[in-house]
Chain A
Amino acid sequence: MKRFPALILALLFFVLGGLHTHVAAQALKDGNAKGAHAAAPALKITLPRKDGSVRFLAIGDTGTGSNKQQELADVMLRSHAAFPFETVLLMGDNMYGGEGPKDYLNKFENIYRPLIDQKVKFYATLGNHDEPAQRFYEHFNMGGKEYYRFTRGSVAFYSLNSNYMDKKQVEWLNSELSKDTSKWKIAFMHHPPYSSGGKHGSDKSLRKVVEPIFLKHGVNVVLTGHDHFYERVKPQKGIYYFVTGAGGKLRSGDVMKNSPLTDKAFDKDMSFMLIEIADDQMYFQVLSRTGTTVDVGVLPLPKKA
């Protein structure tokens, strides 16, 4: 009779243990739960991780709240363990569909919570699916502004509202850049001035307005989204342009074949960019939802014209 409680305990232990193993196995099979993250192999991060470098992640068109967005977020978290970036740049379309409190939770907070908890700061820009009220959201760090500037080390970041590039914004951009002595000037916005997308492609109207300003004031790098794939564009007039718009949606096969703009493109899976700036070099590595490196390289600081 005394053995009876011990027997029940042993049985309970066995059942719960089995259940736990099943959950972990299922998570690995699904490839999206935290169990999968814990068991996944370490990512091969090739970025140099130099002392004092500026490290950040760039991702766009995230806000679906889908399992695939979660899977990519898991890869982001794994890459953070190997490459501790302090900043994430969001290229817009942060919230597809509704924008109620539950949407903020399901399409952003719940998905990136582990990174937020590790003090990673997200800086957003507005896309064509985003209400301007997002600029007040605590985790988007926009300071209540539709366009804004912040710095990290030798890098000045300009978040632009390409969805509404009016005269006031153009004047602000000109004025801020004219005073800016930062070594690196990086603009990020939703619409791409250069892109090989079949659905959207290059935004020529935007290009007509912003490119002369970028050239005049020495903007070095432009990061964008809108097209749901990754593209490293051949340098245009000395400026590096990237499209990184596959953070929550994918437009498979949308990169136009033999596009004269493309240096490297990837439209087979969702992806994000890891970037490290150290002195006169910009290192980058692009990872897909499976943790595969799809592009990697180093770009020198463009020489002033």
Chain B
Amino acid sequence: MKYNMGILAVIALVLIVTPSPAGLVQGNVDRLAQTQNAVLIEEQKKLVKAFDSHIKDYLRQRDRVRKKLPKLSKDATAEQIHAYQVSFVEALRAMRAGTKPGYMFQPAFADHIRAIIKDEFKGTERVELRQEVLEADTKGVPLRVNYPYPDNKELTQIPPTLLLRLPQLPKEVKYRFVGTNMLLVDTDNSLIVDYMTKALP
């Protein structure tokens, strides 16, 4: 009897410390998910890196134009601001003539952006975001690269929690929502640098 009890105790111990077949499967799934996540993160990093590189290209073009313009003072008149913006945007448009949409928002990168926005806004937050963005006075903003964003149209707020998750931009360029689309707009001359459609979930 003592012998039998000993065997039972050993069997019980083995059962406790040995992962069950279900546990084994779950462990493998977790490891696989981790590997997949790591691959995905690596892919995302590559996409963001490529995007950053396109942004830098744009900044180089922009800088070449800006250096030829008279410097705008920090206490400029309304006329000086207007003249600066007009000459800036005209020269930049001429330099970037023929730029195609999607140069920065390349398809895989645009999907990455869509996934971030979808993940950030769920349930009522998604409804509220759509309502705020779609009710904004942005009708008439041209969905065209290398065109200026009209100065009489609203610049919808990008929710800060989203902005902190999106790939960071230099101060010269900003994300903007227009309808369900996302635009990249130059901070100082309002040029539409690029856009992607169906950004809103």
Chain A residues in the interface with B (C-beta under 8 A): 97-101, 103-105, 109, 128-134, 136-138, 141-144, 146, 162-168, 170, 191, 200, 203-206, 208-210
Q: Is the CB of A131 within 8 A of B78?
A: no
Cross-chain pairs A/B with CB under 8 angstroms, 5 sampled: A136-B76, A162-B157, A166-B169, A209-B161, A210-B160
Q: Is the CB of A98 within 8 A of B152?
A: yes
Inter-chain contacts of B96 with A (CB < 8 A): none
A100 and B152 CA atoms in complex are apart in Å by 9
Inter-chain contacts of B168 with A (CB < 8 A): 166-168
> Who on chain A is nearest to B73 by CB?
A136
Identify A133's interface contact among B85, B164, B169, CB under 8 A: B85
**Given known A-B contacts A128-B155, A132-B187, A136-B72, A104 and B78 have beta carbons under 8 A apart:** yes
Inter-chain contacts of B75 with A (CB < 8 A): 136-138, 141
Pick the most buried of A100, A168, A204: most chain B CB atoms within 10 A of its CB: A100
Number of interface residues of B (CB under 8 A): 36
Inter-chain contacts of B78 with A (CB < 8 A): 100-101, 103-105, 109, 137
> Who on chain B is nearest to A101 by CB?
B78
Q: Is the CB of A209 within 8 A of B164?
A: yes
Q: Which 4 A-B pairs have the closest CB atoms?
A: A104-B78, A205-B159, A165-B160, A144-B74
Q: Is the CB of B155 within 8 A of A131?
A: yes
Identify A164's interface contact among B72, B81, B158, CB under 8 A: B158
B76-107: which residues lie under 8 A (CB-CB) from chain A?
Answer: 76-82, 84-85
For the A-B complex with A132-B187, A165-B163 known, give 19 more contacts whose Cβ atoms are closer than 8 Å: A99-B82, A101-B79, A128-B156, A128-B157, A130-B155, A133-B190, A136-B72, A136-B84, A138-B76, A164-B158, A167-B164, A200-B132, A205-B160, A206-B159, A208-B160, A208-B161, A209-B160, A209-B161, A210-B160
